[in-house]
Structures are given as structure tokens and as C-alpha cells.
Amino acid sequence: MSREPIDARTRDKARLPPGQIVSTKWPVLHYSDIPRVDTATWRFRLWGEVERPLTLSWAELGALPTKDVTCDIHCVTKWSRYDNVFRGVPVQALFEKAGVKPSASHALVHAAPDYTTNLPLEDLDRPENLLATYHDGEPLSPEHGGPIRLLVPHLYLWKSAKWVTGIELMDGDEPGFWEQNGYHMRGDPWAEQRYGRPDPARMRRGPTR
């Protein structure tokens, strides 16, 4: 896998998705408190529809090759921030190590303290997606998901889970926290996929992104 930087900024359509406003700041939004992530005990798991389930320590993850990705980010609360540079371990590199089964169609991303969000596998299995540890040359701050967050820049930012701890590959779709509470199952900013229908049977409390 190439370690060349990736420029993931949009060029095949309008750069600013409909309904968005450009911000030079990076607003911080939380439902619950920022978790304390101890890298000495932190573990990342990749399991489910894979041939070789993975469990990696912080040191083991840090030994893997990293990549820089330049991208714009878009929040469902209608702000966008241009020209961010993230660094981290490519998601595709982890998929290669684990061996994704043909039966895998979706992922449920897990994050501290008890957050989940779902993605179609085709949205997650892209070269610009990272387990990011740096933003604009600095370690990710806790309020922005540090020490590690998922980066999926082509979807609304709630899909890029902060404080990520694992990815569960599945043979079907399952809503995560915000999807259970009325957010869209996919979250394409250019289609303004902000909200769907909440499922009262699945609604629960939990943290935001």
C-alpha cells in the first residue's frame, strides 16, 4: 500500500455541500464528558466478518505505516472546515491484515465510552479513511477525539467516531447511537442526508461526536 499523501478534497462537485457554512474554527460538540483514554491499556479490535480478527495495543498500532490525508470536514450541524491535514493508519491496511470476508457488507464502529456508528463497507473501505492520531501536525486533542479517531471525510463528521476502539464488520446493517435517534443511516453531505426516522424500539442515551 502506497504511503504517498492523499488529497481527498472534493473536485467532482461543489466543494461546499448544500446547507453548509465555511468555518475557520473547529467547533467542539459533545453529548457527554470527554473520556479519559489511557494508551497503556487502550486496545483496538477488528472483528466480525473477517478471516483473522485483530487486537492491537497502542504500541502495535503505532508501529504500522501512516499516511497523511488533506481533506475538508463537514458537520451535520451545518459547518464545514476546509484544508485539514490528518495523519494516521489507513483503515484499508487494517482490513488487509484481518482479511475481510466476502460476506461483509457493513461496519459498526465502536468508540469510548459506549458510542457506535454504522457505515456501509464501501464507504469505510476507501484509501483516504484513517485511524487518525494527528491533525495539522499536532497530536489530536481530547476534545477532537484524541488520542485517536476515525476519519471518513466524505460523510458527515458524526460518522468519524472520536476515541475509536474497534470496528465490527457485519453481513447486514445496524444503526449506531445517532442513527437510532433520528440521524440518517449513511450521512452524505452533498445529498443532505442529515436525518432519517428514529426507531423508538432502539433509542437510547449516549455520547455525541
Within a domain: residue 160? yes
CA distance 148 to 76: 21
Q: What is the per-residue pLDDT for 202?
A: 46
Within a domain: residue 16? no
Q: What is the per-residue pLDDT for 33?
A: 83
Query: What CATH number did the domain enclosing 110 receive?
Result: 3.90.420.10
Within a domain: residue 170? yes
Q: What is the per-residue pLDDT for 2?
A: 61
Within a domain: residue 19? no
- Whole-structure pTM over 0.95, yes or no? no
Within a domain: residue 118? yes
Within a domain: residue 2? no
Instruction: Tell me the average pLDDT of the chain.
Output: 93
Closest listed residue to residue 116, CA positions, set 77, 48, 174, 194:
174
Within a domain: residue 30? no
Single-letter residue type at 109: V
Q: What is the per-residue pLDDT for 197?
A: 63
Domains identified in the chain, total number:
1
First to last CA, the chain: 30
**Helices assigned H by DSSP within the chain:** 58-62, 91-98, 121-124, 177-180
**pLDDT beneath 70: ranges in the chain:** 1-2, 30-31, 197-209
Residue 100 CB: number of other CB atoms within 10 A?
Answer: 19
CA distance 79 to 164: 23
Within a domain: residue 127? yes
Residue 183 CB: number of other CB atoms within 10 A?
Answer: 22
Residue 79's H or E segment, with its range, is strand 79-90
Range of the domain at 58: 42-191
